[in-house]
Structure 1
Amino acid sequence: MSPGYDKEPFIAIRGVTDQAWTGYEEIGRELISAVGATRTGKTVIVLECYPGVRQEEIEGGLREAFEPVMPTTVIRAEEAALSPRQVDRKTKRYMTDDRVFGYMAPFRIDEFYDADKIDELREKIRSAENGIVLVVGFGASLIARGDLLLYADLPRWEIQQRYRSGETGSWRSEHKERDPLRLFKRGFFFEWRMADRLKKRLLQGIDYYLDTAASNSPNMLTGHALFEGMKQASRRPFRLVPYFDPGVWGGRWLEKHIGLPRREHPYAWGFDGVPEENSLYFRYGTIRVELPAINLVFFESIALLGEKVYTRFGAEFPIRFDFLDTIGGQNLSLQVHPTTEYIRERFGMTYTQDESYYVLDAAPGAKVYLGLREGIVPGEMLDDLQKAQDGRAHFPAERYVEAYPASKHDHFLIPAGTVHCSSAGCMVLEISATPYIFTFKLWDWDRLGLDGSPRPVHTEHGANVIRWDRTTDTVREQCVNAVAAVAQGPGWKEERTGLHELQFIETRRHWFSEPVVHKQNGSVHMLNLVEGEEITVESPTNMFDPFVVRYAETFIMPASVSAYTIRPSGPSEGQTVATIKAYVRG
């Protein structure tokens, strides 16, 4: 059990605690103070928004705070945007007809605004009565420069919850989509990419930053406090805010060991190491601000990632840790990930989803399906997959796919193109490259999703990328527990557990009962405590305060930290514990 697993980790930000406010009333007072409560004339406040932000709530909250002091006029920026029909037409080729996969769209927000309509809104601003003119919307910064610039933000996981509840739909689409997968697709391939381009250009010049993740509970920072917080976070170990999601094959391990509330549909996934999706909590005194972790990647790229990693990948976090729980659940879908050439040509991604399964725990009889059996005929396997997809036959998985017994601390390496899945009975720490939606399901064991509909299967894509030479002998030699000793000393040893030589991620496991020194090697490090109840991470130079990590918690060590030590602590003091560490190979 891990009763100490922290589901709400935060980073205490120092030195700027007086630059944070909470609630619309407090925020309104600060903004009025910033523009001058007794000022005559007109003040333009521009509120740029990430897609999915509750604009009506923010507009109403600020208006209520402003109007007792200063008259307020609201200009809705998206009145100058292209019509939903025009936006759909412009993005159609990137969205495709597929339910899950599109193509990475290259657009900028200004390509979706009409110049004449922008002029009309600017004329409304000029003719508005004295007081505050609030320009609000995704694209508001195109309408006016303003006397104050605010940015309203929220994490992608929160956007997905709004998709699922029906609260939020696609940005300016004529089709009122209700399928969360299609909504996510449009966000992933189009809206979020465009919004991130704008954010990267705009954020360093903002006066204030709004956290809008919680309904009617906004928090606000000065732009300076935001960037000071990100600077501090990128120079110390930290954890992302985890989230957990049910799935048709979900188990009960996460519920039991992480201390999650029981749900009708068990938890299948746990995400505590995906900066593109997870949040960060920054605490300024008593005020906790939630922001997308990807902001740290964008604006502290070199300090976080390391110059070599940034040069290779740009402002992207290339490593992902997440949990897959099938203990007491069902098999994962039989699947394969695209090759680099395929993901680039078909989806516009620059690198692919190489991955591995590190087994945190396993029930008796657990196994991992990995690679193909010797001597199979590809055409026969594809025909049987198609028959299963058509509902004409049950796919005989073990006729074609090799299966290996899975035990705690086994590590299975899964280079792109390798057919694989976990069986029921496994608790997997998945260590992979970040393009995390690119899973081609080949077969889903004749079941429906939680929504009662068939889960998307992409046999055609899969057939194009399966490496038919990844068969039993090769896989057993190269991909199953390819552990090699690296170094050892009094009370510790270091092992290389992978990944495959074709993958850019290196993983090292340390077993230790005494403090172990980790040195920087030009890459951000991502670690998880895979054995033992507690460890403490410390800086030999007092660069950061001691940082406590508990069983199954993932944490990130920025490249800016030149060295750190890890020792067993608390209930694990004097015992042998283990961490798994991933980084980008040099």
Structure 2
Amino acid sequence: MSIEEPMRKTEQEVMPGLTSKINQPQGYDIYPYFSLGDHQVFNGYSSLCDYIIEQKTVVIDGFVGVYWARLIGAITDKLIAAGFSVNLVESSVYLKSESELENMISPFLGTEDSVWGTKTTLQLSDYFDLSALSDVEKDSSADINIIIGCGASLSNWKAALIYVDLPKNELQHRMSAGSICNLGMNQPHESTEMYKRFYFVDWVVLNAHKKTLINEIDVFVDAQFEEGINWAYGKDIRNGLTKMSSSVFRARPWFAPGAWGGQWMKEHMPQLDRNEVNYAWSFELIVPENGIVFESDGLLLELSFDALMFTQNKNVLGRHAAQFGDEFPIRFDFLDTFDGGNLSIQCHPSLKYIQDEFGENITQDETYYILDCKANATVYLGFQEDINAAEFREALENSNLNNKEIDIEKYVQVHQAKKHDLFLIPNGTVHSAGAENLVLEISATPYIFTFKMYDWVRLDLNGKPRPINIDHAFKNLDFSRKGDRVKQELICKPSVLFEHDDFTCYHLPTHPDHFYDVHRLEFDHVVEVQTENVCHVLMLVEGTAITVESADGHRMTFPFAETFVIPAAAGSYKMTNKGTQRAKVIKAFLK
């Protein structure tokens, strides 16, 4: 269900539906796409209605956050104007009452003041009076029969299936504006509560539902655009996913401001809106929220990244697919503190804690790779040798209660940060990125389980304190990571793995708790790399640009700081340095 008036709260524009409307930059591109070939993406409600007229009966399912009322209005207006009688059934009519849904969902939402819940075990069918939805019949007297909305395919209609997708970044812009609701609700709520419910409940059930449909979908629709839609046939999209799964590609990144956010990305990524106060994060490859964009004849269509994993996880992950299934386990993101502030002093949960408390499969083991920094940049990492846990906790709680600054360096070590340093942050480690850094965070995929202990007595961009989670943190902090042990075990010491001609491969060893490893490939001209049935996530971290050609012949050029993926099934790829200085490429991969 959705609010009638389309709104979004962000300085960023909606992704253009046409490549001709994209201001192509010389450097970093925020709108990467993968070509489907010609005549495979279509534009507009009129062409979709032509398809519906051919079918006579259609099921239109899709994701939460879609402006269903607008979609229904546009389709019915065009069909009626063309002289057709339409029987249209909304699946939302058969949802259980809000009170029933609230009671059903509440066990997964944690306490009211918590930013976390537990990933639900519910299914989408649990939201509906399923027998009533199953009993809905077509109207034989109507020219066109349509059942539409989240869960529409749970009806018994045997008909062509149209699926309406929405990128999760766009969903969150709509959420922040109060223009959409959680699944089954009639009114929006406060953004943090809505996000919690999306993450732990709505997205879980709708992703599982999408997975059951993915190979049966006849038409995919991208509903993010302010005017109109783009769509493609399911068989063409699935062929595109197959090609992508053995080739080189980028996910579509997205960006968000924050309390500690900086100015590096705004200065170096010309397509970003300069009216935004800052950019704190870049979701380079946080695939639960990233999309992938297809192109045909200059038309763009975005799907959520999970469509690739639902259909091609074995090609993408190779020999690790059995372990991780549909989850893409490595994430890349930027933390921008240039001319900004320090991140909160924080830690992340142990594997058992995140599994027991939040229902995740893997935990948030991180590293900080320093992509750029100023001379005075620092990273907070590990405890001082004389740390007293009880005293530290008392200082934190007093600060939180009385809004009082503390001398954090009395308890936590601070380290000078230099370009290309790698700091290791296995779960339970106290840490923070200091100001004047652009951090490439190479991490395991979970991304919202940050237990903040101290946030420098500041407010968020809405003028409110950010949640502090001292109790969660102290159930996970490893106080043995202190003193000299921090420099020995948590600051990476690169070594040459091998070198020949103008190519050197450095090993940047991660912590034993990390299930991924890191290499840095440095070369002047050309280097060829074998995947060995393992997925590689890469970024040019020094140099102007490189061209990457996968074994299937697909070629893409990546400037400095763009993240790209080589699936395991690619077999091999060749990187060519397009600049005059030595190229340095970070490669992260599963151990």
After TM superposition, the score normalised by the length of structure 1 is: 0.94
1:31-430 correspondence to structure 2 within 5 Å: 31-32=52-53, 34-35=54-55, 43-67=56-80, 68-97=82-111, 98-118=113-133, 122=136, 125-127=137-139, 129-173=141-185, 176-259=187-270, 260-306=272-318, 308-391=319-402, 393-430=404-441
Asked whether 1:530 is paired with 2:541, we answer yes
Name the residue aligned to 2:559. Answer: 550
Q: Shift in Å at residue 74 of structure 1?
A: 1.2
Q: Give 1:48 shift.
A: 0.6
What is the rounded CA distance, in whole Å, between the counterparts of 2:440 and 2:123 in structure 1?
Answer: 37
Output one character per residue of 1:75-103: Cα deviation in whole Å (capped at 9) or x when no partner.
Answer: 01111111111011011111112441000
1:492/1:512 contact within 8 Å kept:
yes
Q: Which residue of 1 aligns with 2:17?
A: none
Determine the structure 1 residue equivalent to 2:7: none
The offset of 1:223, in angstroms, is 1.1
Check conservation: 1:490, 1:514, Cα contact below 8 A: no
**Which residue identity is paired with 2:567?**
P
Q: Which of 507, 525, 530 does residue 496 from structure 1 map onto?
A: 507
**Pairwise CA distance, 1:127:** 4.5
Secondary structure, in 3 states, of the residue corresponding to 1:135? strand
Question: Could you tell me which amino acid in structure 1 is paired with residue 117 of structure 2?
Answer: G
Contact 1:85–1:173 at 8 Å: present in 2 too?
Answer: no
Q: What is the deviation of 1:446?
A: 0.1
What is the DSSP-based 3-state SS (H/G/I as helix, E as strand, rest coil) of the residue aligned with 1:465?
coil
Contact 2:214 2:310 in 1 (8 A): no
Secondary structure of 1:18's counterpart equals: coil
Answer yes or no: is the 8 Å Cα contact 2:138–2:145 preserved in 1.
no
* Percent identity between the two aligned chains: 33
Aligned residue number for residue 38 of structure 1: none
* Structure 2 Cα separation of the partners of residues 339 and 549 of structure 1: 36
**Residue in 1 that maps onto 2:20:** none
Aligned to 1:6: 29
Q: Deviations over 1:171-225 (max 9, x none)?
A: 1247x45322211111111001100111110121122111111123211111111
**8 Å contact 2:214–2:311 — kept in the other structure?**
no
In structure 2, the partner of 1:40 is none
d(CA) in 1 for partners of 2:513, 2:130? 49
RMSD over aligned CA atoms reads: 1.5
Amino acid at match of 2:109: M
Q: CA deviation at 1:18?
A: 3.1
SS in 2 for 1:221: strand
Question: Any stretches of 5+ residues in structure 1 without a counterpart?
Answer: 36-42
The one of 41, 45, 48 equivalent to 1:27 is 48
Question: SS of the residue aligned with 2:49?
Answer: helix
- Give the TM-score, by structure 2 length: 0.93
Q: 1:130 to 1:261 in 2, by over 3 A?
A: closer
Amino acid at match of 2:526: P
State the alpha-carbon separation in 2 of the partners of residues 382 and 45 from structure 1. Answer: 59
Correspondent of 1:577 among 578, 583, 586? 583
8 A contact 2:41–2:295 mirrored in 1: no
C-alpha distance in 2 between matches for 1:272 and 1:455: 24
Contact 2:139/2:145, CA 8 A, preserved across alignment: no
Q: How far apart are 1:126 and its partner, in Å?
A: 4.0
Name the CA distance, whole Å, in 2 between partners of 1:108 and 1:509.
43
The residue matched to 2:522 in structure 1 has which SS?
strand
1:297-332 C-alpha deviation (Å, 9 max, x unpaired): 1111111121x2211111110000010110100001
Q: Distance in 2 between matches of 1:137 and 1:403?
A: 52
Q: Distance in 2 between matches of 1:280 and 1:101?
A: 27
What stretches of structure 2 of length at least 5 have no aligned partner?
A: 1-24
Q: 2:486 is paired with a residue of what secondary structure?
A: helix
| d(CA) in 2 for partners of 1:129, 1:444 | 64
Q: 1:392 to 1:216 in 2, by over 3 A?
A: closer
> What is the aligned partner in structure 1 of residue 9 from structure 2?
none
Q: What secondary structure sits across from 1:160 in the alignment?
A: helix
Closer/same/farther in 2, CA of residues 119 and 578 from structure 1, 3 Å limit: closer
